[in-house]
Amino acid sequence: MRSTGDRVARIPLSFKVAGQRVTLMILLVLSAAFLIIGKANPPLMEGLRTTVIEGTSPVLEVLSRPVSALNYLVTESRNLLTLHEENRRLKEENAHLQQWQMVARRLEQEASGFRDLLNIKDDPKSSFTSARVIGDTGGPFVHTLLMNAGHSDGVRKGQAVVNGDGLIGRVVETGTGSSRIILLTDLNSRVPVLIEKSRYRAALTGDNTEYPQLSYLPLNGKATLGDRIVTSGHGGLLPPGLPVGVVRSVEAGNVRVQLYVDRDQVEFVSAINFDRFHPFDDQPINSTVEQTKSPTDEKGAKS
Amino acid sequence: MNEHQSPFAIADTIARNLLPLLFAIGFVVLGSLPYQIPMLGPVFPTMTLVVVYFWSICRPELLPPAAVFLVGFFQDVLSGAPLGLSSFVLLLVQWLAVHQRRVFIGKAFWISWAGFGLIAIGAAIVSWGIASIYHGTLVAAGAVFTQLLITIAIYPAISWMFSAAEKIIPHHE
């Protein structure tokens, strides 16, 4: 029916199609170039990334609120159904924990006594910045979260990110008001940890599966099911003793860890400002957020 | 014939023509929200694949390569994936779909669904390959496979929605 129209439009249309084909080829090459540049010079691409995310984070922040409200509703209604059962369980747990509290108090006294006797150097103080998770950026290749606090709030690259359950990951990119957290399960995540009971050191290595692996365990180091894994503090980047998870499986030297933090339940997180010299910054981070906001520090960290 | 249109009508036409791009950007943002649904994060369907495939077959002029590139770029920025990965794969999908559109156009629905399935499998393999080369190791493929299945399964619903939207976009002739 439209044959006359087609005939009239054929010349410019084919011209346009040819033009589009060339554009497509150029853009394909450009994408490949982006991949190569990103691999060769990550900081260059990181700057670009941070700028775009800064622009998008207000939108994500607004949209993440109804989502979290909905989640709240679902969780609350589910809780209502199991209220009785939960109450009974908590009473039992409470009785159990009270016994533990007595033990803990006694041990605390003992430990502080020993510390005084030995005149041991205290771990540096740490402060933290808490923020809301505004993005769980999907995809099978990277495991990251976005949070709505950035450089201006005292968040720095490399800081440990935790919630009430334990360690979540580390800060990998910071913008002015938003940051990206790399989860422990991500392919690029390496965290120095130790087996709490036996004190064997290892690296917790993510591989994009649900359960990260314990690698670089010493040859005589053994892990048994249910062993608690905590951060070791080696490298000085993460505070020692943060709970990470428990050993889930041990198969022919392949030790997998079940993390304490459930990625899907994370709503608020805290980035720990550990008071040590920071390898990614030009100068040590001060212990309070107010101090980190000074203009010299801003300049130092941006460079 | 367009000379006597009111500014409102022109804005309306532009907005309708921008629909495919807005769909793509909207899906990228929606895919980045924290849903707190167990295991959803890594396997959230690649909606942009559906957007690019559908519009490349149905109305290629509405989603030019530059728009596809931008959508892929935006997706990589938000997800933290290697920059250029999604753009590359989506442009490949567009190139294939535009080339083969005569096979699908005006045919039964299941043919275009099957076509999408094949292209989605190809796209998953290519992205997995690029990610593996980029990271210098074989990336775990379990999540890629699950994501692929979910994406193929969701195609009918999304394409039905797009078909409805397509009717309100004026033809350039």
pLDDT at A8: 41
Residue A65 falls inside a structural domain: yes
Confidence of residue A300 (pLDDT cuts 50, 70, 90): very low
- B101 vs A259 pLDDT, higher one: A259
Residue A145 falls inside a structural domain: no
Is the predicted pLDDT of residue B97 greater than 60, yes or no? yes
Mean pLDDT over the full length of chain A: 81
Q: Do A20 and B44 touch (CB under 8 A)?
A: no
Predicted-complex ipTM score: 0.84
d(CA B72, CA B25): 9
Tell me what percent of the residues of chain B surpass a pLDDT of 70.
97
How far does the CA of residue B45 sit from the closest CA of chain A (Å)? 8
Q: Mean pLDDT across the stretch A123-142?
A: 82
Residues in contact with A245: Cβ distance below 8 Å, sequence separation at least 6, in sequence order: A166, A228, A229, A257, A258, A259, A260
pLDDT at A106: 93
Task: Encode pLDDT of A36-67 as tens digits.
Answer: 988 888 888 888 888 888 888 888 888 888 88
Assign 3-class secondary structure to B37-52. CCCHHHHCCCHHHHHH
Name the domain count of chain A.
3
pLDDT at B42: 76
CATH number at residue A222: 2.40.10.350
pLDDT at A54: 85
Residue A89 and residue A50 in one domain: no
Instruction: Please name the member of A27, A172, A188 whose beta carbon is closest to the beta carbon of B66.
Output: A27
pLDDT at A275: 62
Is the predicted pLDDT of residue B164 greater than 80, yes or no? yes
Task: Encode pLDDT of A155-176 as tens digits.
Answer: 988 899 999 899 999 999 898 8
Q: Do B134 and A39 touch (CB under 8 A)?
A: yes
User: Domain end: A39, A74, A109, which one?
Assistant: A74
pLDDT at A276: 56
- Distance from the Cα of residue B160 to its chain's centroid: 14
Residue A92 falls inside a structural domain: yes
- Give the HSE-up count for residue A81: Cα atoms under 13 Å, Cβ half-sphere: 5
Residue A227 falls inside a structural domain: yes
pLDDT at B126: 94
Q: Mean pLDDT across the stretch B134-159?
A: 90
Residue A94 falls inside a structural domain: yes
pLDDT at A170: 93
Tell me what percent of the residues of chain A surpass a pLDDT of 70.
83
How far does the CA of residue B91 sit from the closest CA of chain A (Å)? 6
Domain that holds residue A210: 190-259
Residues in contact with A284: Cβ distance below 8 Å, sequence separation at least 6, in sequence order: A275, A276, A277, A278
Q: Which of A23, A26, A137 to mutate to test the interface with B (most CBs of B within 10 A)?
A: A137
Long-range contacts of A124-127 (CB under 8 A, 24+ apart): A124/A274, A124/A275, A124/A276, A124/A287, A125/A275, A125/A287, A126/A239, A126/A272, A126/A273, A126/A274, A126/A275, A126/A287, A127/A154, A127/A272, A127/A273, A127/A275, A127/A287, A127/A288, A127/A289
Among chain B residues, CA nearest to A172: B80
Residue A17 and residue A52 in one domain: yes
Residue A12 and residue A36 in one domain: yes
Residue A244 falls inside a structural domain: yes
A chain contacts of residue B32, beta-carbon cutoff 8 Å: 60, 135-138, 146
Residue A159 falls inside a structural domain: no
Is the predicted pLDDT of residue A182 greater than 90, yes or no? yes
Instruction: Please name the member of B40, B80, B82 whose beta carbon is closest to the beta carbon of A35.
Output: B82
How far does the CA of residue A123 sit from the closest CA of chain B (Å)? 34
Mean pLDDT over the full length of chain B: 87
Instruction: Please name the member of A20, A135, A208 whose beta carbon is closest to the beta carbon of B34.
Output: A135
Confidence of residue A124 (pLDDT cuts 50, 70, 90): low
Q: Do B140 and A30 touch (CB under 8 A)?
A: no
Is the predicted pLDDT of residue A10 greater than 60, yes or no? no
Q: Do B32 and A188 touch (CB under 8 A)?
A: no
Assign 3-class secondary structure to A118-171. HCCCCCCCEEEEEEEEEEEECCCCCCEEEECCCHHHCCCCCCEEEECCEEEEEE
Residue A200 falls inside a structural domain: yes
Tell me what percent of the residues of chain A surpass a pLDDT of 90.
31
Among chain A residues, CA nearest to B46: A139
How far does the CA of residue A199 sit from the closest CA of chain B (Å)? 30
How far does the CA of residue B158 sit from the closest CA of chain A (Å)? 19
Residue A200 and residue A253 in one domain: yes
Among chain B residues, CA nearest to A138: B41
Q: Most confidently modeled of A228-237, A280-289, B112-121?
A: B112-121
